[in-house]
Amino acid sequence: MRQSLITAMSRSLGIDRPTFLIGIVFVVACVLPVLAVRATGYYPPILAITLNAFFDSGHIDGHDSWQPIGDALRYLAAHKPDGLYQATYWHSADQFIYSPPSLVFCRLTQWPPLLDWTSPQSLNRAFRWVMFGAVILTVILFNEFYRVLGIGAPVPGRMERAARIAIPAGAALLFYPLMRGYWLGNVQTGLTFLLLLALLLWLRGHRIAVGACLGLICLFKPALAPILLWALLRREYRVIWGFFALVIPFGLASLWLFGWSVNADYLSLMSYLSKRGESYVASHSIGSLLNRAVFNGPNLLWDGSHSHIRYIAWIHWATTIAGLGFIGLALVGRRQDTPPGSWLDFAVALVCVTLASPVIYESHLGFTLPLFLMAGLMLARDGVSPPWMAWGLGVAYFLMTNFLEITDRLADTGFNFLQSYRLFSLIILLAILWRLRAGIGVRAASAAS
């Protein structure tokens, strides 16, 4: 009865049943919570960010990444490279944590000039368009999913076409992890754009370009590098070639321009940060959950120097073991030959490598929105999956897309593990993607036999 009612309603609107179901989940899990919070008189942060992006972008003054990058470039312009991280991290109010090769990229893109990396205002204006580009990529990916999954008519009707644009665009503009980086003035906005582009390029079979996107990301965030192990085991050699074709020139240029000592200082800094991890509420990693559980370091206040986080050996080792476990999960399985199966395998690897990181800030999770959309379409299309998968995906999406500030009240209690709600969302999403990938593998094996 319920299935027939949903089918009748979708037909009356001129929308395919899977699209209608995705739209319902978007409204219930995202739109209604935002409206409910607004009805209380409180302005939801995601609504403020989205409206600002459209109508008041000149007032965005985030400089989370821009100030440290600008400080590093100004230091290099005025001094010898030696002592870069002492000046820009250990003795700076705005800590620079990016790699020396990333500064080569900044210099290169500043030279024509494309971007003024010393001006936060200029970067915020430029990355506003990068953020809108990420929204467009989400819409394109959503429509590509219909093609590879064989959902709907080859030429959809007018209402269906409108829904396939409005739903992913609205979901992206109200997806807190995607919009958060833009609001902060963080380079993660560009890295998320590259990840979304890599997901689209994967669907279209451009593996070398995928590797180049991943390589460019790793210039700023090397934590994604273990994805190469997955690519090697899946015999995706073109991804590896594309990765190193971009990374090696920047690495050599970094050694030539800055010398070995600066690159060694960066590795030392990464070791220091990975051992201590993060305690701030915006991080949703295993290590952050453990640090907050034992009240190690500030919870609600940002400490960029991480000087208030004690090194606790068992947390370090627990985080390391968990990270290795997630990387091991990424490697489990075999190469998928169908487009949706191969894409899901890539998506599983990205989620696993992200979970392996000692720090997972909210803005690092913007790439998960297309994963939710793909999983939702597959569940809506099949209609025979266990109920826990549909309900689990809805709960995971609700936890990921919303900003649950109410959990901050638990910061000083034994229930502060609930502040890691996006970590739980990511694990649920991984379980669903894993199950869907396995289902595609079973169907492919059955068809072959």
User: 210, 211, 193, 192: which is closest to 201 by C-alpha?
Assistant: 210
Number of separate domains in the chain: 1
Are the beta carbons of 294 and 302 closer than 8 angstroms?
Answer: no
- 322 CB contacts (<8 Å, ≥6 apart)? 286, 355, 356
Does residue 222 sit within a domain? yes
| Rounded Cα gap, residues 344 and 30, in angstroms | 24
- 250 CB contacts (<8 Å, ≥6 apart)? 101, 104, 105, 219
Does residue 446 sit within a domain? no
Does residue 447 sit within a domain? no
Does residue 87 sit within a domain? yes
User: 70, 80, 68: which is closest to 257 by C-alpha?
Assistant: 80
Does residue 59 sit within a domain? yes
Q: pLDDT tens digits, the chain, 449 residues: what are they?
A: 456 777 777 777 778 888 999 999 999 999 999 999 989 888 888 988 888 888 765 567 788 999 999 999 999 999 999 999 999 999 888 899 999 999 999 999 987 677 899 999 889 989 999 999 999 999 999 999 999 999 887 788 899 999 999 999 999 999 999 999 999 999 999 999 999 999 999 999 999 999 999 999 999 999 999 999 999 999 999 999 999 999 999 999 999 999 999 999 999 999 999 999 999 999 999 999 999 999 999 999 988 888 889 999 999 999 999 999 999 999 998 898 899 999 999 999 999 999 999 999 999 999 999 999 999 999 998 766 788 899 999 999 999 999 999 999 999 999 999 999 999 999 999 999 999 998 875 554 455 44
| Rounded Cα gap, residues 423 and 429, in angstroms | 10
Does residue 371 sit within a domain? yes
Does residue 448 sit within a domain? no
pTM of full prediction above 0.85: yes
Alpha carbon 427 to chain centroid distance?
14
31 burial via Cβ count (<10 Å: 0-12, 13-18, 19+):
middle
Domain that holds residue 166: 2-440
